């Protein structure tokens, strides 16, 4: 059968073979921001999955932009060399293109990895000073951020540009800027975390100003034939927070300055937000932005089945789907989705013996 999910997607000079994106998944396994052998195996085995694009995890543009000591970074020559080693290794046996999500944690930084409890680093754990648009901590137990002045904002803008240039030298095909999940750019957008009284706070126009400056600077430095996207949280799920209507306005501004797609997520700014998590719970926001802004979108949030993913693309709800933990659970999700949708997908030659056409066990395992 013809499948919309397995049709190609063109963004500038990048052609994805299908509409399935492996989302950025923080591994908290870097050393001083540098990728390790864990990244080699993690990215390596998923680069054989058959997805149309692999997004490298949220990658900090500065040491103080990390969430934890284990977060990946791209702010030093050592970071660049370590990540290039991983990408070149994967390119030896996979043609899957790579994107990278560049991020700054802002007030959400200087914390523990999830398996360490996620709390803020204590005095004996080498914490660092967090920054933000205003002096509002993530929680009452978190460090109070230093309010960024104009010099600090310019410095951070340069770190985003520098990280994008490093990404290009590595050979990465796509950059996505993280303006979601309570990270620094999202903190500027939300009136819950941005109470500034200067030109960067107050009205939506002013709250958007710094994130738009960052995107514009990166677009100018990033090669013209390579796509640039932005991930946003379309709602904070909190009264008085960043809203879907504001997300539409922000997305329209991003389109105007050369952004090629919007990856639509939600939440992450307020740990106490009540989010109605269920399959496809963020789809309406992606659909609204695609329809009202006329820009390609990626849909994320409990996209779990092949039929669901096919319907998202076929209906025009979104141009691509992003799966993350689904790939941790099942690294062969794409293969099985192709089977379910009647699509013939090439396997690596070393794994062809497991194809459903050559191994009866495949049908038995999946109850066919």
Unique residue bearing structure tokens 């990404």: 167
How many structural domains are present in the chain?
Answer: 1
Helix (H, G, I), strand (E, B) or coil at 225: coil
pTM: 0.96
- Is 128 a member of any domain? yes
User: Which residues are CB-neighbours of 321 under 8 A, at least 6 positions away?
Assistant: 5, 19, 20, 21, 298, 299, 300, 303, 309, 312, 313
- Is 17 a member of any domain? yes
- Is 207 a member of any domain? yes
C-alpha atoms less than 13 angstroms from C-alpha of 192 in its C-beta half-sphere: 24
- Is 357 a member of any domain? no
Point out the catalytic residue in the list 28, 75, 183, 200.
183
The pLDDT tens digits of the residues spanning 258-288 come to 999 999 999 999 988 899 888 889 999 999 9
Q: Could you tell me the residue range of the domain that residue 185 belongs to?
A: 9-331
Work out the average pLDDT over 22-38.
97
Instruction: Give yes or no for residue 368 having a pLDDT over 80.
Output: no
The pLDDT tens digits of the residues spanning 54-104 come to 999 999 999 999 999 999 999 999 999 999 999 999 999 999 999 999 999
- Is 337 a member of any domain? no
- Is 61 a member of any domain? yes
Cα separation, 311 vs 283, whole angstroms = 11
Give pLDDT, residue 355.
87
- Is 344 a member of any domain? no
Work out the average pLDDT over 17-27.
97
Cα separation, 137 vs 160, whole angstroms = 23
CATH value at residue 183: 3.20.20.70
The verdict on whether 200 is a catalytic residue reads: no
**For residue 262, what is the enclosing H or E element?**
strand 261-265
């Amino acid at each position: 059968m013809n499948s919309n999910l397995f049709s190609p997607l063109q963004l500038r000079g990048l052609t994805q073979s299908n509409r399935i994106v492996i989302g950025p998944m923080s591994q908290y396994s870097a050393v001083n921001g540098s990728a390790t052998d864990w990244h080699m195996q993690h990215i390596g085995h998923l680069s054989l999955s058959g997805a149309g694009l692999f997004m490298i995890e949220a990658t900090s543009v500065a040491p103080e932009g990390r969430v934890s000591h284990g977060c990946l970074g791209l702010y030093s020559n050592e970071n660049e060399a370590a990540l290039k080693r991983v990408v070149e290794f994967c390119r030896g046996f996979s043609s899957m293109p790579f994107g990278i999500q560049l991020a700054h944690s802002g007030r959400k930084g200087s914390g523990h990895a999830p398996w360490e409890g996620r709390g803020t680093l204590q005095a004996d754990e080498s914490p660092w000073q967090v920054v933000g648009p205003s002096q509002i901590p993530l929680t009452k137990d978190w460090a109070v951020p230093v309010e960024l002045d104009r010099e600090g904002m310019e410095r951070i803008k340069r770190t985003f540009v520098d990280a994008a240039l490093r990404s290009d030298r590595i050979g990465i095909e796509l950059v996505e800027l993280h303006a979601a999940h309570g990270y620094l750019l999202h903190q500027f957008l939300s009136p819950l975390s941005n109470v500034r009284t200067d030109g960067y706070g107050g009205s939506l126009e002013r709250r958007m100003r710094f994130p738009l400056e960052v995107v514009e600077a990166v677009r100018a430095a990033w090669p013209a034939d390579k796509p640039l996207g932005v991930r946003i949280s379309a709602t904070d799920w909190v009264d008085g927070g960043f809203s879907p209507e504001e997300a539409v306005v922000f997305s329209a501004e991003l389109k105007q300055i050369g952004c090629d797609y919007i990856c639509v997520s939600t939440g992450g700014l307020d740990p106490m937000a009540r989010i109605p998590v269920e399959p496809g719970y963020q789809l309406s926001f992606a659909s609204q932005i695609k329809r009202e802004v006329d820009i390609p979108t990626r849909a994320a949030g409990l996209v779990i089945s092949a039929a669901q993913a096919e319907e998202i693309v076929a209906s025009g709800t979104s141009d691509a789907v992003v799966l993350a933990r689904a790939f941790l659970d099942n690294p062969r999700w794409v293969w099985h989705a192709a089977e379910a949708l009647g699509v013939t997908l090439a396997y690596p030659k070393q794994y062809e013996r497991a194809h459903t056409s050559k191994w009866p066990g495949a049908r038995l395992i999946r109850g066919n």
